[in-house]
Amino acid sequence: MDELAWHRPAACGDGNNCPEVAVTSHAVYVRSSLMPDAIAQLTPTEWRDLVSAIRAGEFDA
């Protein structure tokens, strides 16, 4: 895998427990800063669906 440019939310600052995302033209990669070797690969459609579900509160307890 090529070197990815990882981004994290500004709200995380220098915290150690943050989601990180890297976007390429064909995939979106997601990982936790606590486990940087465990990377999930999503298609752009899967990423849009996930973000939409989070915004809609589908994962709220």
41-50 pLDDT, tens digit per residue, is 999 999 999 9
Per-residue pLDDT of 16-45, as tens digits, reads 789 999 999 999 999 999 999 999 999 999
Specify the 3-state DSSP secondary structure of 16. coil
Other Cβ atoms closer than 10 A to 28: 19
pTM of the complete model: 0.82
Cα–Cα dist 17/23, whole Å: 20
Residues facing 41 on adjacent strands: 29
